[in-house]
Amino acid sequence: MKVLKLDHIGIAVNSIEECKKLYADILGLLHAGSETVAEQKVTTAFFPVGDTEIELLESTAPDGPIAKYLEKKGEGVQHLAFRVDNIEAALAELKAKGIKLIDEVPRRGAGGAKIAFLHPKSTFGVLVEISQRD
């Protein structure tokens, strides 16, 4: 497995519109676009920072994973995402090394990326996403 870079930092928020005031208006970051990923019950907004991005995550449903995260932990950093060269091979390698996977097979994420999550019990309490963009 080859990790290419830190792809993005996912931040769970109650309101993307409210949070954009900080990232765009105050910090001056460019809002590169928003997208709703219906199957994950989330709307995302991306703000590039150098070679990585800040990803704001707002739930679109009360039973969505971001809504559940916000209920339990409140707003804040929800995950770190690393870009890999081959996500299927990375998942197989991680599983063989004893890492507990939330996703055994990749799913579709924002921007058409293939994504998969590693269980925080295997990553010292940090929700880690791996992603591949073609």
pLDDT digits (tens, 9 = 90+) for 3-61: 999 999 999 999 999 999 999 999 999 999 999 999 999 999 999 999 999 999 999 99
**Hey, how many other C-beta atoms are within 10 angstroms of the C-beta on 21?**
11
pTM listed for this prediction: 0.94
pLDDT at residue 19 in the model: 97
23 three-class SS = helix
> What is the residue range of 99's domain?
3-132
Which CATH number belongs to the domain containing residue 123 in this structure?
3.10.180.10
Helices (H) and strands (E) in the chain, counts: 3, 8
Going by DSSP bridges, is the β-strand pair 107-108/3-12 parallel, antiparallel, or unpaired?
A: unpaired
Question: How much of the chain exceeds pLDDT 70, in percent?
Answer: 100
41 three-class SS = coil
Structural domain count of the chain: 1
70 three-class SS = helix
